Each structure stands twice: as C-alpha cells, then as structure tokens.
A and B are shown apart, each in its own frame.
Chain A
C-alpha cells in the first residue's frame, strides 16, 4: 500500500487532499481533518490554496535563515506566522523568502503595471540631495573649501529643480 500522506500543517495523517489550478499551475495540499476545518477549506467559496500556502509552516525547514528587518524589526518567524510584511525595507530583507510565495500566488513575479514616475524621480532627487549635503558638511569640516563650493552649487541646482517641480504641480 502507498505510504500515508502527512498533513502539511501538523504531522497527522492527511485525509483531505486539495488541488487547485492557478495560472495553469497545479497546487496540491494535504491536510488532516482538524487542520482542514481550522483553515476553512470545507467552504469552497472563500478559500484559496495560495493564501493557505503563504501562511503554512514552511519555516520548519531548519535551514531557513533567521532574517530580521533593520527598520521595523519584523523577523522570519513573524513573516511566516502572519504572511505579511512590515515596511518597505522588509521587501529587500525578505525578498528571497517572498519570491517563491509569489510564484504560486500571482500571474507573474515581477510588476508590469503602473509606475509612479513623479514620486520616484522626487525620491531619487531627495536621496541625491542628502548625499550632497553630507559631502558638503564633510568638506567644510575638512576645510576643503573649493570642493565645498562645488557641492553648494550642485545643491542649489537640485533645489531649484524641485521648486520648479512643486510649482508645476500646484
């Protein structure tokens, strides 16, 4: 007789076997009676295997690195437990764990839609401004005044541009 399948949430014998097709990919999950109840899979309307897989205990693989977000403090266990991310930086930290989850969840794994052009160019201008201001402060401390003047001019140019940008928006 074939080996009995184990529940993918606990280790009991799986009696509920689910198959769902998302984007022509077959997703299979085996669950025991009680986990199936707990996950609400008995209600075919409100249920998606993709959702279940995100929240499943894949973290039991001991090889998984314990990552932690420097900005909001979310760690691997939090991410596996809630299936959610805490801030923008989390997407850099948890990208390796997130990518496989997205494969089963969405049509593709890379964004193809709208791009917030204005916000992006403003953010990169802000980042550049910050770099230049730091460089200016350093040059002044080091009494490299010629260099400092260059930074000051560049900062002025950037600031003028952003004033124009704000003006054109209003």
Chain B
C-alpha cells in the first residue's frame, strides 16, 4: 500500500536533504490536538474512535497540504509497512500498536503527517531537513489554524489545548531536532551535555525516540515542557540551547583532531573501506559507518553533495526498508547481505577521501 510513498523522489527526509547542515539532520514539530465532546482515544468506544477517524480524515483531505496526500488505516497495513513508516518518522510505534480505528494522513512530499487516534485524537507533525525551527513552526501553525476552522478542538483557557497526558498540555507542542553528534560521543562529553540540557527542561533521545539507543551518533533533542510559555518562547529557548550544543559539537570535533587525529582519520578511512567492500553489514554497523562518512563530508574530505546521500542511507539502511525493498521475506542474515550489496553499489562512485583537507592540529 505504501509503494507510492517509497518511490517518491521528492520525499523530504530521503531526497530533499541537500540543505543538510554539518550538525543538524532535520527539524520536526508536532501538535497534540483533541476533538471537543468525544473521550480521548484511550477511553473512547470503538464506535467513537471510528467516528473521529472518518470525520478527521474527511476534513484533513480538504486542507491544501494534504491534496494528493495518502490516507492509511493502521489495521490495513502489514507489520512491515508500519515499520517502514516508523523508520521514516511518519508514524509512531505507539500508533502501530493501537486498536481498530487508527489512521495516518501523509502529504505527498512526506513533510506533513497527521496521526489519528494515537494517544490523542490528532497528532499533527511537520518536518524539514536542516535546522528550521521558526519556518516549520509557521507551517504547522498555519495548518493547525486551517484545521480549527472546520474542527471543534478541545481547549480551555486555563490548561490550553487539552491532551490525554498532562505532559503535553497547553500548547501541545513538541519541537524536536535530529542532531549528528559524533564529536561529543567520541570525546566522551555526551553524558555531560545530556545532563546540562536536562536541567534546562530539554530532553535527549536516540534516533527513534524514547528508549532507542543513539546508533550513528544521531540524537533527537526536544522541549520537555509545553505549558506556561508561548509557542515562540518554547522554540526560541530550544533553539538557543541547540545552538550551544552545535558549538560544543564543533569544538569537540576540533579537539578530537587535536588529540587523536591519527585514530580518528583511521576510523574514517576504515569505514570508507568497509562501506565499499563489505559483504555483510548489520543495521547498527551501517549507521556507525555512515556517521563517519557524514563526518568526512563535514571535514571536507568528501564533496558536500555526498552528505545528502548519507542522510538518505540513514533511513534506507534500516531493517524495514531493506526488507521492503527486497520484496520477499528475508531473514536478518540475508538482510545484512542485501544491505552490504546496496552500500557497495551506492558508494562505488564515491571519490577517494582527501586527507589533505583536514587541518593539522596535532
């Protein structure tokens, strides 16, 4: 059912990654909304759930960004298709496990997805490659206002937008930025950074959110609090913290070049060799090798244009994507072979690493 999404060569996270920056992969904002007068999904009857699903899907279809979009009922998707959508950050794991009466509306470029009957009736998400908190806020705010023209949202003046979990009350806004932080990890400063930002009400998670580990040195950093501040304040506060994190990451990379240049360049060189020659690569290994290639681009050892390929492989090398592309059910071992084949082919045209570009700081 999801073939058209996968074959779209304008999909934001896989094909529009040209504007990617050295540290930030992508920006994602989500708004939690509920329909007034109906219990939240957890306590709604199945009749109420399907009523919300039908009505919301109808109204979403009317909105500009959703023209030519796709709507899926979760119960119609196979486990593999659900996994692919999770890997593309278009639906959550929680939605996959939900009962009858849940769905997702995804626009053509996959910059916008609306989950229906997840923890709240509606979870609106907008995403964009690169670091664009303000721009993405403008888009999601506009979309949300248009939706409110036809939908009675649950709201009260004290608690703001009403949500099932009090952690989302008020604005219902979770702003999240995907960051590539190899410098901080290699310099063993990540724990310190996590602790510091935690104290500022900012959360750090792995690539796939809660409970996932940070393979490929990729982290999601987001605001924890949603009530008592305006949306603009939340975004500004998060943005300022993230700018500091970026500075620390850049400094950590230079420090690595200063202290352990040979070791670091050795890791990058070996990753390059493995990606072009290996015949068995696990998903975890692929992420870590790709991370080093992204770092090589940032050090100008590879052309800028290769960064967007790396960002695409971060997603296309996930187990669900590999299996879906194979079109037949394959066991994890043959999956690792298929993944290695793909990487060898894709990287066969990669230019040689230019080690002279690296400043000698040692």
Hey, which bits of chain A sit against chain B, CB under 8 A?
Answer: 20-23, 44-46, 48, 50-51, 54, 71-74, 83-88, 91, 95, 98, 101-102, 105-116, 118-120, 122-123, 169
Contacts and interface: CB of A to CB of B under 8 A. Distances in A.
A164 to B, nearest CB: 13
A116 B157 CA distance: 10
A119 B152 contact: yes
Given A71-B39, A107-B228, A114 B198 contact: no
A114 B227 contact: no
Contacts of A101: 166
A25 to B, nearest CB: 11
Contact of A48 (B36, B39, B166, B203): B203
Interface string B153-175: 11111111110111101110100
Contacts of A45: 194, 204-205
A50 B171 CA distance: 18
Given A113-B170, A114-B171, A116-B153, A105 B40 contact: no
Interface stretch (B100-108, B143-151, B339-347): B143-151
Contacts of B229: 107-108, 112-113
B191 interface: yes
A169 B171 contact: no
B195 interface: yes
A114 to B, nearest CB: 6
B228 A110 contact: yes
B329 interface: no
B170 A22 contact: no
B26 interface: no
Nearest to A114: B231
A118 B169 contact: no
Contacts of B169: 102, 106, 111
